[in-house]
Structures are given as C-alpha cells and as structure tokens.
Amino acid sequence: MEFLLERGRSRDREALFEALVGVVAVPLHRYLSRRTDPGSVDDVLAETMVVLWRRLEDVPELGAGRPVDPAGVLPWCYGVARGCLANARRAEGRRQRLVDRLTRVARPAASWPGAAESGDGELDHALRKLSPLDREVLLLWAWEELAPREIAEAMGTTPNAVSIRLHRAKKKLAAMLERKNAEMAGQMPGEGHGRSDR
C-alpha cells in the first residue's frame, strides 16, 4: 500500500515538473542565450532543470492541482538559471586558466563573459563599461521585461536595492550614449545646449 502511495506521489511530482518546464523552458533558454555562447546554452539549461527538479518544492506559487503562473514562478527560476550560469562560468574559468597555464597562451579579452551582443555597437560598448551587477539588472529589466520586484527575486536582493541600481544604471547608460553621440556629431559634451561662448 505504501509503495502505491509513493508511486502516486512520484507521478504527481513528475506532472508538476512537466507543467513547470512547459512554462519556463523557452524564457530560460532565451535568458541564457542572451548571456552565454550558443554552445553552452543547452548545458546550462539542462543544469538549471536538474536544480528545478531537485528544488521543486521550493518554487514559489507552484502547487499540484493549479495551473502554473509564469509571473509567479519565472523570477525564482531566473535566479536558479543565473546561479547555474555563474557556476558554469567559474568552471570554464578554471578550465581556461589550466589550459592557459599548460599552453602559456593568453586568452583574448571578451566584451563580457559569454555576452550576446545587441547588434548596436554603441550600445554594446556602453554596456561593457557598466559594472556586471548594473548590466545584469538593466538586462533583466530590458531584455527579460522583469519588474524590480521580480529582478530582486532573481538576484536574491531587495526590490528597493534593485530600483536604486536600475535607476543609476539607466542614468549611466544614457550619459554614455549621449556623450558618444555628441562626440560622433563633432560636439563636445555640454556644447550646443543654449550656452553662449562669447
């Protein structure tokens, strides 16, 4: 009898996991594709799914007998994917350092670890100049369309801290792009804004 109950619980858990995967697989794949090289995406996604399976009971707003709400589960799942990506980057860094040591060949500098470029050279250049945390908050807001509360959950911080960091990151990015545009137009920053130099 206990065996049958256990088997039933196992089937329920599998069904719940399949429902979760059906909701989060595509957004998580998109999230990872924008942050790492194409060859690593599937591996990191698979690792993310393993963690989600192991921690299924920890996923917020996920319960048997009710539909999976993307808004309820995605921020937490982004946080898991972010952690798996960080682990993969650390492992790759260790592997690369070993290869470098063995071959004594320096690795070429990348724009940022595993970055997917936006296609806009000026924007990519400005994003590279942001700190990794500022860049991640900004990209979660812009690319994944998460609200500060959801970003906070994904990054393991508070919504207030995210709002402040997001506001500052947007200002920094705007200032860099404005400065770049002014320089390209042959104008120094601060010139041509109603100031008269007589």
**Spans of all domains in the chain:** 1-116, 118-189
The confidence band for 4, taking pLDDT boundaries of 50, 70 and 90, is: low
Closest among 19, 23, 119 to 78, alpha carbons compared: 23
33 alpha-carbon distance from chain centroid: 9
DSSP assignment, residue 62?
-
Q: How far apart are CA 124 and CA 14, in angstroms?
A: 41
In CATH, the architecture of 1-116 is Orthogonal Bundle (1.10)
> What is the longest distance spanned by two Cα atoms in the chain?
94
Residue listed under structure tokens 């690792």: 47
**pLDDT tens digits for 35-55?**
999 999 999 999 999 999 999
Statement: 118-189 belongs to CATH 1.10.150.120: no
- Look at residue 131 and tell me whether its pLDDT is greater than 70: yes
Can you read off the two tokens belonging to residue 37? Answer: 């090289």
- Look at residue 105 and tell me whether its pLDDT is greater than 60: no
CB 112 within 8 A of CB 132: yes
Can you read off the two tokens belonging to residue 50? Answer: 């393993």
Flag the least confident range among 6-20, 85-99, 138-152, 180-194. 180-194
Closest among 1, 53, 2 to 24, alpha carbons compared: 53
Can you read off the two tokens belonging to residue 137? Answer: 């908050």
Instruction: Give yes or no on whether 1-116 and 118-189 have one common fold.
Output: no
Q: Is the pTM of this model over 0.75?
A: no
Rounded mean pLDDT of the chain? 81
- Look at residue 110 and tell me whether its pLDDT is greater than 90: no
